[in-house]
Amino acid sequence: MGKTAYLYGDVYLEHDTGWGHPERPERLTAIDNHLRTAPWYPDLVRVEPAYADREHIEKIHSASYIDRIHQEIAQGIPYIDSMDTTVCLNSFRVAMEAVGGCLNMCDTIMQGHADKGFCAVRPPGHHAERNYSAGFCLFNNIAICARYLQDEHGLKKVAIVDWDVHHGNGTQHSFYDDNTVLYISTHQFPHYPGTGSVMENGKDRGKGYTLNIPMRAGSSDRDYLNAFHDLIIPSLENFKPEIILVSAGFDAHRADPLAEIRLSTDAYAEFSAMLVEAAGKYADNRIIAFLEGGYNLDTLAHCVERVMDAFVNS
C-alpha cells in the first residue's frame, strides 16, 4: 500500500474574497479540521506551499496576463475580469503559492515519496484561461501541473478527469489541440460557463482527446456512475495515462448551493476508487486531486475525506 500526500497551508486563507462570497477561506479550514480527525491523518506525507516560478505558469498563461493581474491586484482592484473573481491585495501571492504547492505535490509523487495526493489549495483553477480569469480562478493549477509533469518529469501521457459541476473551460482550451493530454469532464449542462457540449472533442491532432459528458440538472449517483463505467474508465483504458489528475470539485453534491446535480457523499468515494484502480493499471498508482469547487462546508469536508479514504486505503 502506497503513501498519500496532502498539501495545505495557512497562506491559502489569505485570499480574502469578502463577505458572502462562496469561494471563501472557511472552505479550507473546514476540510483541514475534519481531516485531522481521521485515523490516517498523522501518516500523510505533508507537502508545503511554495512561490511558483513564472516559467512554469507561462506554459499555460501568457506573460502579459500574469503581469496584468499582478499589477491590477497591487493597485487594489476588487475583482479580475469578472465580478465573480474577487481579489484582495494578497491574492496574487496566494495564487502563486497555490501553483507552487501543487508543483511540489507533483515532485513528491514523481520522486516516489507518495503515489497519491490531494491539493487543498485556493484559489481554484480550472476556469482560468490563457489570457483571462473566470469562475473564482486566477491560475489554472491542474493545467500548469500537467505540462510541468511532461516538461520536468518526462511523462508522455497525462489524463485529467474533471468532476466539478462546472465545465473546466480553461483546462479544455489549454489542451484542445494536444493528443498527449486527455481531458474528460462531467458537468451540469447547460450551466456556467456555457462550454462543454458533447460536440467539443478537440481539434487537429487533439481531435478525440477531449471527452465532454454533459449531465442534466437532477442527475443522480447512478447517472454519474454509468458515465464512469461506460465512458470515463474505457477512455482511460484506451489512453493508458502515466498519471491521472483530478479536478476535484464537490459542487455536484445534492447539498451544494450553486448547481442542481444530486450526488451523494458516497458517490465521490466510488469515483475515487475507480480512478485509483485505473491508476494502478496504467499509471504506476499515481493520482493527484486538486480542489476546485464545493461550497457547502460540511458536505465539502466529508466528500474530501471520502476521496482521501479511497487514496489511503488502496
Mean per-residue pLDDT, 100-111: 98
Whether 1 shows a pLDDT value over 90: the answer reads: no
Whether 169 shows a pLDDT value over 90: the answer reads: yes
What does the alpha-carbon distance between residue 206 and residue 80 come to, in Å, rounded to a whole number? 30
Given 34, 56, 127, 166, which residue is catalytic?
127
Q: Which three cell numbers stand for residue 227?
A: 458515465
Q: Calculate the average pLDDT of the chain.
A: 98
Q: What is the pLDDT of residue 110?
A: 98
What does the alpha-carbon distance between residue 35 and residue 17 come to, in Å, rounded to a whole number? 24
Residue 282 Rama label (left phi>0; alpha psi -120 to 50; beta): alpha
What does the alpha-carbon distance between residue 171 and residue 49 come to, in Å, rounded to a whole number? 22
Active site residue 127: yes
Whether 79 shows a pLDDT value over 90: the answer reads: yes
Q: How do residues 2-31 score in pLDDT, each as one tens digit? A: 999 999 999 999 999 999 999 999 999 999
* Domains, the chain, ordered by start: 4-312 (3.40.800.20)
What does the alpha-carbon distance between residue 171 and residue 126 come to, in Å, rounded to a whole number? 6
Percent of the chain with pLDDT over 70: 100
pTM over 0.75: yes
What does the alpha-carbon distance between residue 95 and residue 88 come to, in Å, rounded to a whole number? 11
Q: What is the pLDDT of residue 161?
A: 99
What does the alpha-carbon distance between residue 127 and residue 168 come to, in Å, rounded to a whole number? 5
Q: Is 276 exposed, middle or buried (0-12, 13-18, 19+ CB in 10 A)?
A: buried
Q: What is the pLDDT of residue 3?
A: 98
Q: Which three cell numbers stand for residue 237?
A: 483504458
Answer yes or no: are the C-beta atoms of 99 and 56 closer than 8 Å.
yes
* Phi, psi torsion values for 306, nearest 5 degrees: -65, -40
Which residues are CB-neighbours of 217 under 8 A, at least 6 positions away? 188, 191, 259, 260, 261
Q: What is the pLDDT of residue 180?
A: 98
Q: Of 13, 122, 134, which Cα lies nearest the Cα of 69?
A: 134
Q: Tell me the one-letter amino acid at 72.
A: E
Q: How do residues 131-163 score in pLDDT, each as one tens digit? A: 999 999 999 999 999 999 999 999 999 999 999
What does the alpha-carbon distance between residue 216 and residue 194 come to, in Å, rounded to a whole number? 13
